[in-house]
Amino acid sequence: MEPRRTLLDVIRNDLRLTGTKEGCGTGDCGVCTVILDGKPVNSCLVLALEAKGKDVLTIEGLAKENKLHPLQETFIKCGAIQCGFCTPGMILTAKAFLDENPNPTEEDVKEAISGNLCRCTGYVKIIEAILTAAEELRKGEWHG
């Protein structure tokens, strides 16, 4: 493995998991977010070698047995997707956030996704989708 290669590059080009997007490549936009050992991180800022021995969750790993994660369901239901480019990163950031804070306020959600840019300006529906998913998850029926 070339030491300079990023986790993002390896996920997309070696593993061919293209659900993880590349936007700015400099940590500003958040579209490359993956969950590394339970924490959301910008995979463009992580060297692939740094992820050795760690648990990496990409958007492809979120659904279980063909059942979409509640966040994926509510993003669809709430129309929180326009072009879709920010969606994988947005959902993974929200997933890690709800794991930690299952009962958030709207302000908490805004803070949580403040590093994930949506250039379709669709934040209202994204926030609604995350709050709705939080409700769903609190029912405890999802075992992901």
Asked if 115 is part of the footprint of other proteins (rule: CB under 8 A), the reply reads yes
Rounded Cα gap, residues 87 and 118, in angstroms = 8
CB neighbours of 11 closer than 8 A, spacing ≥ 6?
17, 20, 34, 43, 56, 58
Q: Which of 8, 9, 11, 30 binds other proteins (CB under 8 A)?
A: 30
Q: Which of 23, 40, 88, 122 binds other proteins (CB under 8 A)?
A: 40
Asked if 111 is part of the footprint of other proteins (rule: CB under 8 A), the reply reads yes
Asked if 4 is part of the footprint of other proteins (rule: CB under 8 A), the reply reads yes
Q: Which residue type does 96 have? A: A
Closest CA relative to residue 131, chosen from 92, 95, 105, 93: 105
* Span from 59-67, 110-118, 125-133, 134-142 in contact with other proteins (CB under 8 A): 110-118
Q: Which of 114, 120, 124, 135 binds other proteins (CB under 8 A)?
A: 114
Q: Which is nearer to other proteins, 3 or 140 (CB)?
A: 3
Q: Please, are residues 122 and 80 in contact by the beta-carbon 8 Å criterion? A: yes
Asked if 33 is part of the footprint of other proteins (rule: CB under 8 A), the reply reads yes
Chain positions contacting other proteins, by CB under 8 A: 3-4, 27, 30, 33, 36, 39-42, 45-47, 49-50, 93, 97, 111-112, 114-116
